[in-house]
């Protein structure tokens, strides 16, 4: 047997509005109570409006949050620039020590590099009458002889800020009669070695 159970009208609702009476079996005392339609329709209307708004907004919200998780967000910004290096100047060689015909001297090289680099010294001229032999201190700390076209790496680094001035050390053997020049027969090169 099916029962129609009615809801009694709230005594505080005095607005009038449509009333509906359900009549059930005379033997059932719970049927036939009065129900107010206006408040029920208002509540149903509000819920349907809310569902309509959610149905329209839900796809955009769902798509925007795919793959996101709650918690603190971390963002990493990476700026990339083309690898480069340059030499902005070289000081004249200055004598630092002398013993007989052996002269030690050094020069500073102003350079900058935004990536891995090597500073290379290259011999540029054949042996002259003033300088019979010339050596440069390599990156391993040993002096290596420079001949015309010989290249020796003297400094290696990951990067160098503008204004970096590594010192390059030389040894030269001069003849007794020869006069020494502050300009050594060398060329300085900076070679880029980008790291991945």
Cβ neighbours, 10 Å, residue 134: 24
What gap in Å lies between CA 54 and CA 61, rounded to an integer? 10
Tens-place pLDDT, residues 84-127: 889 999 999 999 999 988 999 999 999 999 889 999 999 997 65
The reply to whether the predicted model has a pTM over 0.75 is: no
Pairing of strands 85-90, 151-157: unpaired
Write down the pLDDT at residue 104.
Answer: 93
Which pLDDT score is estimated for 193? 82
- What is the predicted pLDDT for the residue at 105? 94
Residue 62 has which token pair?
């769902």
Three-state secondary-structure class, residue 49? helix
pLDDT reported for residue 27: 54
- Specify the pLDDT at position 77: 79
CATH code: domain 85-192 is: 2.60.40
- Give the residues of the chain that fall short of pLDDT 70: 1-41, 53-73, 126-131, 175-182, 194-196
Helix (H, G, I), strand (E, B) or coil at 2: coil
In Å, how far from its chain's centre is CA 76?
Answer: 6
**Helix, strand or coil, per DSSP, at residue 165:** coil
Nearest to 150 by CA among 116, 129, 122: 122
SS3 call for 46: helix
Query: Are the beta carbons of 190 and 141 closer than 8 angstroms?
Result: no
């Amino acid at each position: 047997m099916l029962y129609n159970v009615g809801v009694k009208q709230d005594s505080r609702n005095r607005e009038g509005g449509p009333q509906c009476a359900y009549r059930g079996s005379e033997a059932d005392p719970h049927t036939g109570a009065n129900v107010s339609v206006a408040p029920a329709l208002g509540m149903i209307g509000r819920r349907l409006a809310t569902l309509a708004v959610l149905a329209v907004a839900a796809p955009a919200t769902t798509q925007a949050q795919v793959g996101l998780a709650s918690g603190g967000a971390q963002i990493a910004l990476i700026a990339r620039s083309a690898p480069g290096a340059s030499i902005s100047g070289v000081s004249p060689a200055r004598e630092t020590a002398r013993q007989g015909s052996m002269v030690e001297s050094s020069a500073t090289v102003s350079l900058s590099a935004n990536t891995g680099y090597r500073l290379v010294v290259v011999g540029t001229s054949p042996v002259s009458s003033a300088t019979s032999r010339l050596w440069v201190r390599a990156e391993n700390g040993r002096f290596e002889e420079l001949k015309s076209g010989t290249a020796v790496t003297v400094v290696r680094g990951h990067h160098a800020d503008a204004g970096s001035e590594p010192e390059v050390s030389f040894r030269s053997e001069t003849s007794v009669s020869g006069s020494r020049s502050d300009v050594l027969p060398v060329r300085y090169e900076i070679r880029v070695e980008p790291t991945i």
